[in-house]
A = this chain, B = another copy of it.
Amino acid sequence: MPLVRIDLASTTPPVHVQGVGRAVHEALVATFNAPEADRFQVIGRHAPDELVCSPEFLGVAHSGPVVFVQITCAPGRSTEMKKALYQHIAHAVSAQGYFAAADVIINLVESARENWSFGNGLAPFAQA
């Protein structure tokens, strides 16, 4: 059910573009109990002037390439689960050696379970 938007620079090596996608999905499976088969991602590559990131915010400095991860998902995960998700994404992305953990920006948007259709016009999570 998550729909993940990943935005990064067009200069990102393709192996790392794909690596971010895998890392985010792995984190959703591990911490949000997303099914392995529940993977839907839209990646956007951008010119240098299209990604604007504060050089420093709340004590975290941003100096390298940045990646934005915006996840629309079902509501109801606990704060602890959300914290675990952020930590897992930042660790799994940075472990690949291209983006620093400091430069992984994450935002969740929660949308009701009836607000999703995964093909054929069905609404598999809508209550009868």
Q: Chain A: residues with CB nearer than 8 A to chain B? A: 3, 7, 14, 17-18, 21, 35, 37-47, 49-58, 60, 62, 68, 70, 72, 79, 82-83, 86-91, 101-112, 114-124, 126-127
Contact = CB atoms under 8 A, between A and B. Distances in A.
B44 A119 contact: no
A104 B17 CA distance: 24
A86 B121 contact: yes
9 contacts: A43-B52, A44-B44, A58-B122, A83-B126, A86-B123, A101-B119, A104-B117, A107-B111, A107-B116
A113 to B, nearest CB: 10
A55 B37 CA distance: 8
A54 B41 CA distance: 9
A121 B43 contact: no
Contacts of A121: 86-91, 101, 104
A89 B118 CA distance: 12
A102 B6 CA distance: 23
B14 A122 contact: no
